């Protein structure tokens, strides 16, 4: 393999495996202190090398992903885990020179003799913990943001997708010095061990349960965290929505990566009069798209036995407690298939409180469908649940949509398509409440891994220190009383104006 001429890593071909996690952190921190804040050219070069690491080995990466899952379409791996990184990495490259410039603030304060500005500085060494469902996209994209902000990066991909991690670990030294970018694997220790590192920022994508543990470990070292978590994402089908279009969208979105996406729809509210028709259309879509499942390489398998058993258990629990299931099982096939970890696409109705699937994120090819008579029913049920990572609306942007948006909370809202906000580099990605804290993508990612450092200079003859320390004279008393009087008048005026509206 020949690296592009413009990619200029230093001291490459030293493997991360030659050092412990703590040593790698110390190596990167020492390099950061030695070299200082990197210029735009260095940051752009690092992001370009990160992209090249994936692009140059795309076929091998796709093969590894298929091996890790047991069954995963090559097209999905190329689109999601490789091409899916490139939009944000390209946006970071184009924008970093502008984002890193010192920002001037109030002109009024400047005229008064106070010069104020904000420096956008790197934090130092960033730790990134990735999940197994999209082990590259959800690790490499935040790494690109960390590079744009000027940091050194340690990544710790999921042990569940070990073959994919091994490919990245194998080739990373061809592109990066371990002083810049190092791949931490299970050979270095567990994810819990990684969470204990005294990095300058810890970024985690995964389940809320593990996220809470990561935040706890990081908190012991006062390490700030960004948590990208999951949740049960609702869909609301409007009364005026095109029912076929809505059913096809939900059916397709539920099967992306075998349903193993933190943005997959989990449960659906459909107008009561259209409830049965909607379900028929979803079943028809799955039936048409899946003539086979068991030996179909385009149907992504459940990642491992543990998750397979959990999903099958959720279905069985709901049915045992009175729910009704409808499944798409091609003729001659037996599903679920434990050997291949394939589960039939399933719709559950009649789901009620007390059933496990009411609480648990499914992360598999299962949908729960509820009828609603009035939109308030759907809004109230969604609002009563933990805030999801996203919410889907099928229909026009109308008064009913605004009611839904105002009455609920979620990391994002997507209308009439799956995960649209992933493809807008200016849009932040992140959750709220149980679905996460903090965000990334675009400028938000740059800000997450930067410190906004205030700089203030005075050219005034009188100092704040003099004004606020003894002895206080009559002049100071008049000044203090005058300020309170002025602010009382201004605030009273603001209250009066607000109450008129």
Which residues are identified as catalytic? 228, 262
The span from the CA of 299 to the CA of 262, in Å, is 18
Q: What stretches of 290-382 adopt beta strand conformation (E)?
A: 324-327, 346-349, 366-372
DSSP 387-399: PPS-EEEES-SSH
Closest CA to 348 of 267, 245, 230, 258: 267
Pairing mode, strands 324-327 and 346-349:
antiparallel
Q: By the 8 A CB rule, do 82 and 133 touch?
A: no
DSSP string, 397-448: SSHHHHHHHHH---S-EEESSSSGGGG-TTS-B---GGGEE--BSHHHHHHH
Listing DSSP states for 55-98 in one string gives HTTHHHHHHHHHHHHSS--HHHIIIIIIIHHHHHHHHHHHHHHH
What would the two tokens of residue 229 be? 């978590």
DSSP structural state of residue 257: G
Q: What are phi and psi of 392, to 5 degrees?
A: -115, 140
Contact 315, 321 (CB under 8 A): no
CA-nearest of 171, 175, 136, 179 to 154 is 179
Secondary structure (3-state) at 362: coil
Asked if 174 and 12 count as a contact pair (C-beta separation under 8 A), the reply is: yes
Residues 6+ apart with CB under 8 A from 237: 243, 246, 268, 269, 270, 271, 274, 278, 394, 395
Nearest alpha carbon to residue 230 among 262, 268, 253, 266: 262
Nearest to 132 by CA among 341, 307, 303: 303
Place of tokens 């149907």: 299
Could you give the count of Cα atoms lying within 13 Å of 460 in the half-sphere of its Cβ?
Answer: 16
Q: Is the peptide bond before 20 cis (omega within 30 degrees of 0)?
A: no
The C-alpha atoms of residue 172 and residue 45 are separated, in whole angstroms, by 15
* Contact (CB, 8 A) for 188 and 16: yes
Nearest-5° angle of CA 243, CA 348, CA 356?
Answer: 135
Distance CA 72, CA 297 (A): 6
- Cβ atoms < 10 Å from Cβ of 457: 10
């Amino acid at each position: 393999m020949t690296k592009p001429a413009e990619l200029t890593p230093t001291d490459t071909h030293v493997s991360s495996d030659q050092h412990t996690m703590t040593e790698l952190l110390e190596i990167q921190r020492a390099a950061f202190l030695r070299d200082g804040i990197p210029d735009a050219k260095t940051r752009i070069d690092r992001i370009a090398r990160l992209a090249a690491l994936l692009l140059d080995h795309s076929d091998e990466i796709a093969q590894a992903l298929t091996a890790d899952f047991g069954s995963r379409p090559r097209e999905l791996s190329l689109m999601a885990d490789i091409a899916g990184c490139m939009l944000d990495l390209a946006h970071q490259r184009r924008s970093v020179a502008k984002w890193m410039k010192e920002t001037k603030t109030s002109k009024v304060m400047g005229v008064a003799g106070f010069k104020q500005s904000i420096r956008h500085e790197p934090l130092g060494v960033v730790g990134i913990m990735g999940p197994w469902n999209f082990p590259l996209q959800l690790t490499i994209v935040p790494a690109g943001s960390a590079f744009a902000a000027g940091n050194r990066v340690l990544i710790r991909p999921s042990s569940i997708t070990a073959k994919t991690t091994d490919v990245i670990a194998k080739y990373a030294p061809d592109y990066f010095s371990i002083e810049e970018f190092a791949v931490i694997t299970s050979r270095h220790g567990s994810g819990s061990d990684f969470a204990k590192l005294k990095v300058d920022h810890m970024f985690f994508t995964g389940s809320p349960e593990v996220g809470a543990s990561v935040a706890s470990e990081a908190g012991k070292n006062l390490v700030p965290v960004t948590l990208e978590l999951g949740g049960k994402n609702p869909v609301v089908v409007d009364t005026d929505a095109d029912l076929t279009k809505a059913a096809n969208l939900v059916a397709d979105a539920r099967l992306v990566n075998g349903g193993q996406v933190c943005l997959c729809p989990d449960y659906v509210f459909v107008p009561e009069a259209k409830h049965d028709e909607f379900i028929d259309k979803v079943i028809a879509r799955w039936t048409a798209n899946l003539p086979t499942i068991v030996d179909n390489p385009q149907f992504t398998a459940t990642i491992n036995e543990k998750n397979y058993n959990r999903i099958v258990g959720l279905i069985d629990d709901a049915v045992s407690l009175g729910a009704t299931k409808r499944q798409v099982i091609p003729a001659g096939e037996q599903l679920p298939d434990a050997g291949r970890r394939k589960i039939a696409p399933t719709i559950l109705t009649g789901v009620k409180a007390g059933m496990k699937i009411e609480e648990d994120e499914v992360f598999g090819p299962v949908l729960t469908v509820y009828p609603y008579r009035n939109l308030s029913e759907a809004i109230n049920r969604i609002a009563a649940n933990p805030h999801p990572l996203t919410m889907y609306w099928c229909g026009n942007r109308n008064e009913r949509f605004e009611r839904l948006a105002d009455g609920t909370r979620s990391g994002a809202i997507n209308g009439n398509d799956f995960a649209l906000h992933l493809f807008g580099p200016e849009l932040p990605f992140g959750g709220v409440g149980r679905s996460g804290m903090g965000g990334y993508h675009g400028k938000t990612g740059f800000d997450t891994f930067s410190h906004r450092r205030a700089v203030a200079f005075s050219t005034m003859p009188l100092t704040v220190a003099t004004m606020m320390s003894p002895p206080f004279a009559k002049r100071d008393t008049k000044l203090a009383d005058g300020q309170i009087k002025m602010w009382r008048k201004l605030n009273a005026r603001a209250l009066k104006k607000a109450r008129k509206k």
